[in-house]
Amino acid sequence: MKKILEIKNLETAFRIKDDYFNAVDNVSLDLHSNEVLAIVGESGCGKSTLATTVMGLHNENLTKSTGEIIYDGKNLLELSEDELNKIRTKEIGMIFQDPLSSLNPLQKIGKQIEEALVYHTELKKEEREARVIELLTQVGIPNPQRCAKQYPHELSGGMRQRVMIAMALSCKPNIIIADEPTTALDVTIQAQILDLLKQLQEEMHAGVILITHDLGVVAEMADRVAVLYAGEVVELGTSEQVFQNPQHPYTRSLLRSIPQLDGDGNEDLYAIEGMVPSIKNLDRTGCRFAPRVPWLKEEAHEKNPSLHEVEAGHFVRCTCHKHFTFEEVGNND
């Protein structure tokens, strides 16, 4: 598969008072055409910050990004706002986490979808309106003519999410970034949205960056998985490698926290001890997950841990995985 996006040593820091603190810290990833790359982790791990950095949506007065995001031979971090505007939606589309706050409440659905077509295409008004109806039909909205004339508040959560997908796909981009596309939707609607997204991705042969904390979604959708913790990639591999042979204690802890259907019903749900550290209080010289696995001795962790290839295409940060069995995770902390 053709590599269409390459992220190299990306760092994104937010300004807090007079200092900058990294929310994304030395991340390197790539994306291929017709591939779904899932980025997983708890809230506060830097997933959405990574996505908005790729899209160039940060205020330069409050954030600082370094490294490279290579698309079509260009480093997106070096482009002007006008140059980025020519790429957004046309070549890189994004489905945002909360459609109700992302859609303009004062503008009809059809006009909002048509906006990208006005900016990026030379279609005439009648052709744009026909394309809007085609998109709404494509994402499974009944009576698309009526929907195009409605306002966001008149639609259900699932319908609004379908509208967001239609907007992201309006110009047939090469890359789709889906940031928690099924958050706050009920299970039935979640499945419909995911099936729709997968179907459209395969039809367009687009590369998808799927950001989620739901490992069930990852297992169903992803070709490769990057596990993010405290701004760093702690594990990277194919979906099969990460699910069947997880190496980092954080990955294993996430997998153990999924409710099991084969239990006797009397077991307590596993919860990871502690919480993701603030970007102001990160240990930048050791394994950042170490405080949440107190049963693992300090000497088991690397100083300044780096990614190690444990098998072809499967990488893990910190060699602490050599010092415990996976059965120990969750039973000793």
What is the helix (H) or strand (E) element at residue 247, kind and residue range? none
What is the rounded distance in angstroms from the CA atom of residue 76 to the CA atom of residue 9? 14
What is the helix (H) or strand (E) element at residue 160, kind and residue range? helix 157-169
Q: pLDDT by residue (tens digit) across 297-329?
A: 777 777 888 899 999 999 999 777 666 655 555
Using the predicted structure, report yes or no on whether residue 332 has a pLDDT greater than 50: no
Measured in degrees and rounded to the nearest 5, phi and psi for residue 56 equal 70, 45
| Higher per-residue confidence, 195 vs 183 | 195
* Residue 228 within a domain: no
- Domains in the chain: how many in total? 2
Instruction: Assess whether 47 and 186 both reside in one domain.
Output: yes
| Higher per-residue confidence, 249 vs 110 | 110
- Which residue range(s) make up the domain with 147? 3-222
* Residue 229 within a domain: no
Instruction: Assess whether 120 and 203 both reside in one domain.
Output: yes
Structure tokens at 322: 């050599």
Percent of the chain at pLDDT exceeding 70:
94
Instruction: Assess whether 7 and 53 both reside in one domain.
Output: yes
Average pLDDT over residues 92-97: 93
Instruction: Assess whether 218 and 268 both reside in one domain.
Output: no
Question: Are 173 and 91 in contact, with CB atoms under 8 Å apart?
Answer: yes
Q: How confident is the model at residue 330 (pLDDT cuts 50, 70, 90)?
A: very low
Predicted TM-score (pTM) of the model is 0.92
* Residue 238 within a domain: no
Terminal-to-terminal C-alpha distance of the chain: 42
* Residue 239 within a domain: no
* Residue 237 within a domain: no
Measured in degrees and rounded to the nearest 5, phi and psi for residue 130 equal -65, -35
Instruction: Return the sign of the alpha-carbon dihedral for residues 69, 75, 80, 81.
Output: negative
Q: pLDDT by residue (tens digit) across 49-78?
A: 999 999 999 999 999 999 999 999 999 999
pLDDT for position 285: 81
pLDDT for position 329: 55
Number of Cβ within a 10 Å radius of residue 283: 13
Question: Are 191 and 205 in contact, with CB atoms under 8 Å apart?
Answer: no
Mean of pLDDT over the chain: 90
* Residue 291 within a domain: yes
pLDDT for position 265: 63
Q: Which of 222, 240, 274 is the last residue of a domain?
A: 222
Question: Are 38 and 239 in contact, with CB atoms under 8 Å apart?
Answer: yes
pLDDT for position 130: 97
Tell me the sheet residues that pair with 175.
Answer: 92, 207
Instruction: Assess whether 278 and 197 both reside in one domain.
Output: no
Q: Which of 206, 222, 238 is the last residue of a domain?
A: 222
- Which are the contacts of 318, defined by CB distance < 8 A and separation ≥ 6? 234, 248, 287, 289, 301, 302, 305
Question: Are 321 and 311 in contact, with CB atoms under 8 Å apart?
Answer: no
Residue entry with tokens 């179907």: 199
* Residue 246 within a domain: no
Q: pLDDT by residue (tens digit) across 161-187?
A: 999 999 999 999 999 999 998 877 788
Taking CA atoms, 65 is separated from 26, 58, 60, 324, in Å, by 11, 9, 9, 36
Average pLDDT over residues 256-269: 72
Whichever domain contains 59, its CATH number is 3.40.50.300
Instruction: Assess whether 180 and 317 both reside in one domain.
Output: no
User: Strand 74-75 to strand 175-179: parallel, antiparallel, or no bridges (unpaired)?
Assistant: unpaired
Q: Edge-to-edge strands of the sheet including 19-32?
A: 19-32, 3-16, 63-71, 74-75
Using the predicted structure, report yes or no on whether residue 294 has a pLDDT greater than 70: yes
Structure tokens at 36: 């779904």
pLDDT for position 257: 85
Closest CA to 111 of 56, 55, 170, 57: 170
Q: How confident is the model at residue 333 (pLDDT cuts 50, 70, 90)?
A: very low
Q: pLDDT by residue (tens digit) across 112-164?
A: 999 999 999 999 999 999 999 999 999 999 999 999 999 999 999 999 999 99
Question: Are 222 and 37 in contact, with CB atoms under 8 Å apart?
Answer: yes
